[in-house]
Amino acid sequence: MIDKARELIIKSCKRQDFDHLALCYFDLSNKNSQSLEFHNGLEGSIENFYFDLASMTKVLGMGLLRVKRPQLFKGDKELLLEHRGGLPRWAILGKTSWQETVKRFEIKASDTEYSDLSMLRLMLTLEEEEDRSFYELVKDQFSKEVCFWKDLPENATCPDTGIRKGNIINGVVNDDNCFKINRFCSHAGLFGTIEGVREMLFRAQQEYQLTGIMQDAFKEGRTNRFLYGWDTVSDPSKSLAGKNAPSQTFGHLGFTGTSVWIDAQSGKGWILLTNATRKYWYNRSEINALRISLGQLLWNK
């Protein structure tokens, strides 16, 4: 498996905008995994190399919290979690007024509209009801090598993920709203090594029975794209999880060029971490082609 993945990556790298990549194929049922890394065109690992996980934060935080403590997510909170609460996709938030902006929208059942604001509104609601910070609610879910961007260890190395106001973004979050909010939040901001993300998923399987809970959720009848906050496969022929992904596949993408996908039935899945936004935030074609081909390799095994 990993040898074929290596061939795909080497063929693809010349067309890509990233200069760092980490990949892990895993099986949650037996805790087996295979990983590889490429840095500046050469295969090999760099110790303490942390990628900006971007919107994978949503499922490593809120998605796993839903698995761990389902009683917290009732009524409107379930709508917000699954991006069905009527909030707009995005807005430019202010440093001091962001909470007021996020709270001003009426929550009402709607069609799916993937929304950072929905996830922020859910975070604020949970914090008010639980009288605890969101970080306190989810911190025990994180492995040693997954952390909030402001808590990166001193010996961490990070890839460039773009430019903000003329300065290279390195070691700070790519997402502008998360950067301005400047605190741990639910829609972006986690950084992690490939080992750290893999360990988080293994722990979630062992401690919360992640795939079993997601299997039960699928069996209840999925009528929306998002399930417990996790993205799912609507069209197996086109999904960025990889062509022919199983019907009970769940996961999430990250804007910086990251992915995580898991088949709830078999426990098999994959993690891809890159810095695809290094040059351009808008160029998605090549990173998406790689996502599809890597996923197809796993599902067709």
Structure confidence by residue, pLDDT tens digits, 1-22: 899 999 999 999 889 999 999 9
In the chain, where the domains are located = 2-299
Mean of pLDDT values over 87-96? 94
| pLDDT, greater one: 281 or 110 | 110
166 vs 283: CA distance, rounded Å: 19
Q: Determine the pLDDT at residue 221.
A: 79
| pTM exceeds 0.95, yes or no | yes
Q: Determine the pLDDT at residue 301.
A: 66
Residue 186 confidence (pLDDT) above 90: yes
Share of the chain above pLDDT 70, in %: 100
2-299: in CATH 3.40.50.720: no
Q: Determine the pLDDT at residue 238.
A: 87
Residue 210 confidence (pLDDT) above 70: yes
pLDDT in tens, 16-39: 999 999 999 999 999 999 999 999
**In whole numbers, what is the pLDDT of the chain averaged over residues?**
96
User: Per-residue confidence at 264, pLDDT binned at 50, 70, 90?
Assistant: very high
Q: Determine the pLDDT at residue 135.
A: 98
Residue 50 confidence (pLDDT) above 80: yes
239-242: Cβ within 8 A, 24+ apart = 239/292, 239/295, 240/288, 240/291, 240/292, 240/295, 241/291, 241/295, 242/291, 242/292, 242/293, 242/294, 242/295, 242/296, 242/297, 242/298, 242/299
